[in-house]
């Protein structure tokens, strides 16, 4: 018998809520012997079948069932399950002689059973089924009861040592006012069995130190129970004093006290500046910024830096990119006359304007969710003319000034109502409901009926030509289309639109409801879309809504989103933003806010969500609140209590830079001061300002095709609505890119617009290597093109192999890529030498030497560190670097090599 310490007993008593009213004892006692009570089909029979595994996905709950017998997965469809059990196959149920029913003879192995033995004769489980059969195998006459609450005690468990045990008790409270101990009918799951195991009877056994949740399932109830085993003896009175400057810190430290985890110290100023600049604005701080910040002795400089960053164009650009990730800005799915790339740009610009203006998040979302192509009162002809004013070469109107963003609904992969329901839930609610499309969600409360009712909000949103405008549209097509159809017609209309001529355009619009049973999207003789049948909608976990009363069925949906009682909308955004700062969400993964995946710190998520709503959905409020906390400003160096902590925010966790930020960081570290200023003023010249993303979309940063680099570093492909479309995993190809890619090697060379180029000019040095001859240079250009093409082919194949789980095969291609990149770098160097020889602007001119570049080797070494790692070098680092630079053929070549080496450190490519 495992022991239970006094510590656990006391913690259990204090954590156990009082369960009011008379509670009916468990069926395991009531049916242990003879009884006159009749079991209830919903309360007892169906949950028991779930407990025995009969309606699981590996048995009769599978899509096809087993042996011609199919139950609803996890028992959510009581009417269908009752019909399946008592229906046409009369051998399954004999009410006169229950023991001969297949419902008993199969699981007791009186007859062969593929699922093995599930019941012992005369056990309480056997008696429940036997008694139900004997009393007529009745289902529900007036429909199922509603489970109003599933009360679990204790509601939290804190263990003191390994092997301690505590049983859970589950009490179901029903809509008819009755309460019953249903522990014996529940299913139990541990989210981390190494910390806490739970057996079939709900008895929890402690394991290794840490924290997790045990989840209890019964009927529609899913309740997580926090389980903690402290990682050290520093709990209770032994816990040291830790400052809690903000409410976030108070809530974070409150959890750490239970775990015996002492947080790390606050990070240095240099670490904070680099971290917050990369997180908040996706931008590496300049050397000048770092120096000024380190020399600033004012106590509020960190808060002032946050305010400064919030007003930069880079902040708007980076968080627009994140919102484009979550909302699915992928031009691969755009099928519209204005062109795929223009759709991506429109989407990005529309969101960026609102982020720049700090439009409340709920208003921004409403502009997407309620979007239609036409403004209120805008006729079809006006719409076509106004679009010409936006997309025509001579037009001066901006799409971002339109009141809504209809491209969200026009995507080719987002036309079906079920796809919209799934995507909407991912994007704006942070939940995964796709499982409920076919069966009850295994880890949440959602049933197939919930999915269908939620889907109803999207059935009337259409993309095409409204019936009311069909004649005008057809007339314009006949006049302008030259008989073309399909893609040919769209391409021609797009060209005419850019030339400044109004053309007929398809649009996002809302169908009127119909009060009949005909299928949706019925067409009349003129092939104009008719109205939709009226369907009752129901928001997730809410009341049923008669959508026939609304001109736009999305209106009540947005009202529900904006309601302070909405349990998902604000929490989903808060959790995603938090995960961007801490590497993990308070709920993790951030897009899986199911009941069985509870927050690691629920009071913290509650506080931030309620504060976000109270602020008027002010996105900058949320950024300020998070970055002002010590929890965000912790050092990455760990102590003996928190070295394994990655989910309770006791220390900073190293995070690989996001793809766009990593790409831009290389550019900032290597660019001249004038080029850096250009990029700071205009994020459209940077990777964080690239509008779209997708497997076919070719992102360009300036004149450079950045597809390969951004793919290697895991930029979101935005193919699904899952946050996993973006990858933060390290890979060998990333190392190869930073070490050998032609663009990186070009950036560290002494060329136009590079820091090393300015250094070379300031030092008055020439290129030491022998310039290539004319023939060599001409051949090198052709060879460069050939090598680039070959690298792209091999790298693309390697990336595809890795995505398909063929890592070993991908590695075989990496060596070939590395060798080609070395050859490419030499070829490009030859071309640049030729260019410099013939370009007088590239010759050393005393009058053109940069005035702001030092000629002091020690200062230049410091600048290299400030530019890349945002810190000053240590004494040992500066001595080693100076020794290397002095031994190089020229100082600028020594600094070039130092800069390249710093770009290839882990410290550069991670945020810490």
Q: Each residue of 482-519: pLDDT tens digit?
A: 888 888 888 888 888 888 899 999 999 999 887 544 44
* Global pTM value: 0.85
Pairing of strands 704-705, 700-701: antiparallel
Indicate the average pLDDT of the chain: 86
Distance CA 854, CA 877 (A): 19
Kindly give, in sequence order, each residue whose CB lies less than 8 Å from that of residue 415, ignoring residues fewer than 6 positions away.
463
Residue 606 and residue 255 in contact, taking contact as beta carbons nearer than 8 Å: no
Closest CA to 451 of 460, 441, 462, 442: 441
Q: 117: exposed, middle or buried (C-beta count within 10 Å: 0-12, 13-18, 19+)?
A: exposed
Residue 162 and residue 2 in contact, taking contact as beta carbons nearer than 8 Å: no
pLDDT confidence of residue 453: 86
Using DSSP, state whether 66 is helix, strand or coil. strand
Residue 204: strand pairing partners: 166, 198
Distance CA 506, CA 349 (A): 21
What are the Cα distances from residue 526, in Å, to 50, 469, 480, 641?
53, 12, 20, 73
Please report how the helices 569-582 and 619-627 are oriented relative to each other, as an axis angle in degrees rounded to 10: 40
Residue 194 and residue 208 in contact, taking contact as beta carbons nearer than 8 Å: yes
Peptide bond preceding 815 in cis form (omega within 30 of 0): no
Residue 20 and residue 161 in contact, taking contact as beta carbons nearer than 8 Å: no
pLDDT, tens digit, for every residue of 354-412?
999 999 999 999 999 999 999 999 999 999 999 999 998 877 899 999 999 999 999 99
User: Domain extents for the chain?
Assistant: 3-17+145-236, 27-134, 269-311+568-653, 768-838
pLDDT, tens digit, for every residue of 745-787?
999 998 889 999 999 998 888 764 433 333 444 455 566 667 7
Using DSSP, state whether 574 is helix, strand or coil. helix
Distance CA 591, CA 594 (A): 9
Domain 3-17+145-236, CATH number (from 2.60.40.1080, 3.40.190.10, 3.30.565.10, 3.30.70.1020): 2.60.40.1080
Peptide bond preceding 154 in cis form (omega within 30 of 0): yes
Residue 27: strand pairing partners: none
Residue 761 and residue 753 in contact, taking contact as beta carbons nearer than 8 Å: no
Using DSSP, state whether 810 is helix, strand or coil. helix
Query: Which two tokens mark 621?
Result: 């409020």
- Most confident range (mean pLDDT) of 21-25, 360-364, 728-732 is 360-364
pLDDT confidence of residue 774: 36
Distance CA 704, CA 686 (A): 10
Q: DSSP secondary structure string, 721-783?
A: S-GGGS-----HHHHHHHHH-HHHHHHTSS-TTBHHHHHHHHHTPPP-SPPPPHHHHHHHHHH
Residue 692 and residue 685 in contact, taking contact as beta carbons nearer than 8 Å: no
Q: Name the band, by pLDDT with cuts 50, 70 and 90, for residue 712.
A: very high
Residue 866 and residue 673 in contact, taking contact as beta carbons nearer than 8 Å: no
Q: Name the band, by pLDDT with cuts 50, 70 and 90, for residue 143.
A: low
pLDDT, tens digit, for every residue of 570-618?
999 999 999 999 999 999 999 998 888 999 999 999 999 999 999 999 9
Helix residue ranges per DSSP H, 764-905: 774-803, 807-838, 857-868, 875-887, 891-903
Q: DSSP secondary structure string, 653-688?
A: --EEPPHHHHHHHHHHHHB-HHHHHHHHH-GGGSGG
CB atoms within 10 A of CB 781: 14
Distance CA 310, CA 316 (A): 8
- Chain centroid offset of residue 784 CA: 39
pLDDT, tens digit, for every residue of 204-221?
999 999 999 999 999 888
CB atoms within 10 A of CB 21: 9
pLDDT, tens digit, for every residue of 102-141?
888 888 888 888 888 888 898 999 999 999 999 888 887 5
pLDDT confidence of residue 170: 96
Residue 61 and residue 78 in contact, taking contact as beta carbons nearer than 8 Å: no
Peptide bond preceding 589 in cis form (omega within 30 of 0): yes
Using DSSP, state whether 203 is helix, strand or coil. strand
Using DSSP, state whether 312 is helix, strand or coil. coil
Looking at residue 99, the DSSP 8-state letter turns out to be G
* Rama region for 118: left / alpha / beta (φ>0; ψ in -120 to 50; rest): alpha
pLDDT confidence of residue 92: 78
Closest CA to 161 of 188, 195, 203: 195
């Amino acid at each position: 018998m495992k022991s239970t310490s006094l510590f656990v007993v006391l913690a259990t008593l204090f954590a156990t809520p009082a369960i009011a009213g008379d509670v009916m004892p468990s069926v395991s006692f009531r049916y242990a012997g003879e009884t006159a009570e009749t079991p209830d089909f919903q309360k007892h029979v169906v949950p028991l079948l779930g407990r025995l595994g009969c309606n699981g996905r590996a048995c009769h709950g599978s899509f096809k069932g087993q042996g011609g017998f199919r139950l609803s997965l996890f028992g959510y469809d009581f009417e269908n399950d009752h019909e399946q059990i008592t229906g046409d196959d009369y051998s399954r149920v004999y009410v006169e002689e229950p023991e001969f029913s297949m419902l008993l003879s199969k699981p007791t192995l009186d007859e062969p059973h593929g699922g093995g033995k599930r019941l012992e004769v005369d056990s309480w489980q056997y008696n429940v089924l036997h008694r139900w059969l004997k009393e007529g195998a009745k289902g529900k006459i007036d429909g199922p009861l509603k489970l109003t609450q599933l009360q679990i005690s204790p509601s939290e468990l804190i263990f003191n040592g390994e092997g301690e045990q505590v049983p859970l008790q589950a009490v179901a409270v029903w809509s008819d006012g009755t309460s019953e101990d249903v522990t014996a009918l529940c299913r139990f799951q541990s989210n981390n069995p190494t910390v806490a195991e739970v057996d079939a009877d709900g008895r929890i056994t402690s394991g290794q130190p840490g924290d997790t949740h045990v989840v209890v399932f019964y009927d529609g109830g899913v309740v997580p129970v926090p389980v903690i085993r402290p990682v050290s003896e520093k709990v209770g009175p032994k816990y040291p004093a830790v400052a809690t400057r903000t409410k976030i810190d108070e809530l974070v430290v409150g959890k750490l006290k239970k775990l015996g985890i002492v947080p790390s110290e606050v990070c240095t100023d240099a670490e904070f500046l680099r971290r917050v600049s990369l997180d908040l604005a996706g931008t590496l701080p300049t050397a000048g910024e770092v120096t000024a910040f380190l020399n600033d002795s004012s106590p509020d400089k960190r808060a002032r830096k946050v305010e400064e960053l919030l007003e930069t164009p880079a902040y708007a650009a980076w968080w627009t990119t994140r919102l484009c990730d979550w909302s699915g800005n992928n031009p691969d799915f755009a099928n519209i006359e204005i062109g795929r790339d223009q759709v991506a740009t429109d989407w990005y610009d529309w969101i960026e304007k609102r982020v720049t203006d700090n439009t409340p998040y709920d208003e921004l979302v409403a502009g997407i969710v309620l979007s239609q192509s036409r403004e209120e009162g805008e006729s079809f002809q006006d719409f076509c003319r106004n679009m010409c004013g936006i997309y025509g070469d001579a037009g001066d109107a901006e799409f971002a000034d339109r009141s809504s963003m209809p491209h969200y609904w026009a995507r080719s992969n987002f036309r079906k109502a079920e796809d919209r329901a799934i995507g909407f839930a991912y994007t704006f609610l942070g939940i995964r409901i796709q499982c409920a499309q076919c069966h009850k969600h295994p880890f949440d409360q959602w049933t197939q009926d919930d999915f269908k009712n939620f889907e109803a909000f999207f059935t009337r949103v259409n993309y095409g030509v409204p019936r009311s405008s069909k004649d005008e549209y057809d007339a314009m097509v006949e006049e302008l289309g030259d008989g073309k159809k399909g893609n040919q017609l769209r391409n021609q209309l797009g060209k005419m639109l850019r030339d400044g001529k109004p053309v007929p355009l398809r649009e996002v619009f809302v169908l009127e409801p119909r009060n009949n049973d005909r299928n949706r999207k019925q067409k009349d003789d003129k092939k104009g879309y008719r109205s939709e049948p009226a369907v009752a909608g129901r928001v997730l976990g809410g009341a049923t809504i008669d959508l026939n009363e609304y001109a736009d069925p999305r209106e009540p949906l947005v009202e529900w989103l904006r309601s302070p009682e909405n349990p998902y909308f604000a929490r989903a955004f808060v959790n995603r933003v938090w995960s961007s700062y801490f590497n993990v969400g308070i709920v993790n993964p951030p897009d899986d806010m199911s009941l069985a995946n509870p927050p690691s710190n629920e009071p913290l998520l509650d506080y931030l969500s309620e504060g976000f709503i109270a602020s008027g959905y002010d996105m900058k409020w949320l950024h300020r609140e998070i970055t002002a906390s010590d929890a965000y400003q912790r050092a990455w160096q760990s102590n003996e209590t928190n070295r394994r902590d990655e989910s309770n925010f006791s220390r900073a966790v190293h995070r690989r830079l996001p793809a766009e930020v990593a790409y831009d960081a290389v550019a900032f570290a290597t660019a001249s001061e004038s080029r850096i200023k250009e990029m700071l003023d205009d994020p459209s010249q940077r990777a964080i300002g690239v509008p779209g993303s997708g497997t076919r979309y070719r992102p360009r940063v300036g004149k450079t095709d950045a597809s390969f680099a951004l793919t290697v570093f895991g930029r979101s492909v935005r193919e699904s609505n899952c946050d996993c479309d973006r990858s933060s995993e390290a890979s060998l190809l990333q190392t190869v890119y930073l070490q050998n890619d032609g663009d990186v090697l070009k950036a560290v060379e002494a060329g136009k617009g590079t820091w090393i180029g300015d250094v070379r000019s300031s030092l008055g040095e020439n290129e030491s290597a022998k310039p290539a001859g004319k023939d060599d240079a001409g051949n090198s250009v052709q060879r460069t093109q050939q090598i680039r093409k070959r690298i792209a082919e091999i790298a693309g194949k390697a990336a595809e192999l890795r995505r398909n789980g063929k890592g070993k095969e991908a590695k075989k291609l990496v060596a070939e890529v590395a060798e080609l990149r070395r050859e490419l770098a030499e070829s490009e160097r030859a071309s640049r030498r030729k260019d410099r020889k013939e370009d007088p602007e590239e010759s050393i001119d005393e009058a053109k030497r940069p005035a702001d570049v030092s000629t002091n080797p020690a200062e230049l070494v410091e600048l290299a560190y400030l530019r890349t790692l945002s810190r000053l070098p240590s004494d040992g680092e500066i001595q080693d670097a100076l020794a290397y630079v002095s031994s190089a053929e020229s100082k600028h070549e020594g600094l070039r090599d130092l800069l390249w080496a710093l770009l290839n450190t882990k410290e550069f490519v991670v945020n810490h």
